[in-house]
A and B are shown apart, each in its own frame.
Chain A
């Protein structure tokens, strides 16, 4: 009998309830939110998926109709415009806010005077809700009392700025507003990244004879590449669930030109009583998100493994 066995054979004294409560405490505290997250995320997602395959109309019913809801969804022109808008908006919104954010971050990184003030100014739009942003920008875009009226008031009477009221360009008005709102956030992350880079790298590159442009392009930006990805992933989920910004800014119009999937889902489910088709549209949104996020999370896991492998 080894020492190890000897220790194990000693009967464990009954643990006082206090100690038991102590060890159960993390589970008790986390329990409710774990259950809630599980129910809201997985159970409701599953339920939505199920309803999307059912003949539900005003209330959930469970007559199985297969992919009928999806078929009628994709036959609808408004949904196609919404889904197109989603990709158009997401693409421009993400690239635009990252480009503007990066530019701002690089400019602020030049040790400008009053840096904290600039940072606050550029970050501030993030503190404003999409509803407020949408409302304010809808005033700015409004030809009667917005930017157009202001410039005409200066005397340039032929000036025309009616982006939001033109059905071909209204989506760009939404994009510009979205970029305005989100680029401060991108800037904050990029700036934090640039500042976290070892300053010796910059000195080494200076001694190596690299220009400032080359230092950013070859040394700094590649070093903060993971931040680009993080920003993109955060922005993409904002983009896909875009609802309140559009609701406040253009209300999906003019006509149906700025309809977004989220608006469409809301419409089907709560205005027109077509819960089955609404659920199908919601599942399509989930699919759009999954196309991006699933590879990303696989990549993150793969990278973590690789790093762990190298110790």
Chain B
């Protein structure tokens, strides 16, 4: 049983305000991902939870206990660092027991714990080696072993996968997910990789410029981003933003866009709009919600709107093909099945899934 509660937390480095009132909470056993671009304050926030950075104002509670001025060692946390931070002169076994050694845990108990963790992470053959003799993935495991052996209240991960190569990163991501499912500890995980956040977390806090932009479940973050920053940050390729004007088309609200042939196409809006909706809007469409139009599709999916666009560039990735399209004077990216790939220079009729589109207020950048 362990929870984390953060209330209006602030952090200043001199005159620079790095965190501007953070509110977060993690239920028992939850996996919280802090995600954001570099410099958004996510690592500082993690360091503050760990007690490695002081708190300027606000409060951090672990299991309801205020820990603002509690030393890191007394917070009952374990942390996995981006650089792994394995003690280079100690063997893997000594690395794992260093914390227990510092806390004067009796020797037999230490051996027991090492045996348990080594079996759990399958690192028994590595126990006698030094970190310099391990591969990146093995070091990662040992770093997790050192965290696990303590059986802490809270697990903190600081971009643990960013030093690994692409393939290993995907493997270790799966490992971390499995590990969390088995251990079920409350975890805070910092990453700049939105895919990691989406795949691992039970809830994601998207951070930008020292503020939490949105704190919600992955599906909500992805489908109903609170603002244009979240919409643009989560998802790859990024969501397309098109300035559009609100109009009425046959009694239903719609947005007008410049089509490829110079005419104005109007796309009906599916969602209900409030009466004070501004006339100028930003239409947000994810690349995977852009299709090549065909009548069959329109029958299957209600809310498909037609519009013509010119294909400017085609980028095949194998599993799918990205196409850069010119629409309404802007470039947008569409994600297509390789079989139905549009050709460069072609004018295609697109079917846009308006039921999945997001509308943003251009002044506040918030979701409407």
Determine whether the beta carbon of A210 is less than 8 Å from that of B98: yes
With A204-B81, A207-B79 given, is the CB distance from A310 to B102 under 8 Å?
no
Determine whether the beta carbon of B98 is less than 8 Å from that of A207: no
Interface string of B39-81 (1 = CB under 8 A from A): 0000000010011100000000000000000011100011101
Taking CB atoms, residues of chain B closer than 8 Å to A222 are 87, 89-90
Interface string of B82-114 (1 = CB under 8 A from A): 110101111000000011001100000000000
Taking CB atoms, residues of chain B closer than 8 Å to A43 are none
CA of A203 to CA of B49, assembled, Å: 13
Q: Would you give the shortest CB distance from B152 to chain A, in whole angstroms?
A: 9
Residue A168 lies at the interface, judged by CB distance under 8 Å to chain B: no
Determine whether the beta carbon of A200 is less than 8 Å from that of B81: yes
A residues 163-201 near B (Cβ < 8 Å) are 198, 200-201
Determine whether the beta carbon of B77 is less than 8 Å from that of A207: yes
CA of A310 to CA of B89, assembled, Å: 16
Determine whether the beta carbon of B50 is less than 8 Å from that of A208: no
**Chain B interface category by residue count:** 20 to 34
B residues 238-280 near A (Cβ < 8 Å) are none
Determine whether the beta carbon of A209 is less than 8 Å from that of B83: no
Determine whether the beta carbon of B132 is less than 8 Å from that of A203: no
Determine whether the beta carbon of B132 is less than 8 Å from that of A310: yes
Residue A218 lies at the interface, judged by CB distance under 8 Å to chain B: yes
Residue A49 lies at the interface, judged by CB distance under 8 Å to chain B: no
Residue of B nearest to A221 (CB): B89
> Which residues from chain A sit less than 8 Å from chain B, CB to CB?
198, 200-201, 203-211, 214, 218-219, 222-223, 225, 310
Besides A201-B87, A203-B72, 15 more A-B contacts (Cβ < 8 Å) are A203-B47, A203-B50, A203-B79, A203-B81, A204-B79, A205-B87, A205-B98, A205-B102, A206-B51, A206-B52, A207-B52, A208-B73, A214-B102, A219-B87, A222-B87
A-B CB proximity, top 8 nearest: A208-B99, A209-B73, A200-B85, A222-B89, A204-B85, A209-B102, A200-B81, A210-B102
Determine whether the beta carbon of A207 is less than 8 Å from that of B78: yes
With A207-B72, A210-B98, A214-B102 given, is the CB distance from A223 to B79 under 8 Å?
no
Contact partner, B103, options A203, A204, A206, A209, Cβ 8 Å: A209
Determine whether the beta carbon of B98 is less than 8 Å from that of A218: yes
CA of A210 to CA of B98, assembled, Å: 8
CA of A204 to CA of B143, assembled, Å: 10
Residue of A198, A200, A209, A310 with highest tally of chain B CB at under 10 A? A209
Taking CB atoms, residues of chain B closer than 8 Å to A210 are 73, 98-99, 102
Q: Would you give the shortest CB distance from A194 to chain B, in whole angstroms?
A: 14
Taking CB atoms, residues of chain A closer than 8 Å to B27 are none
Residue B133 lies at the interface, judged by CB distance under 8 Å to chain A: yes
CA of A170 to CA of B365, assembled, Å: 81
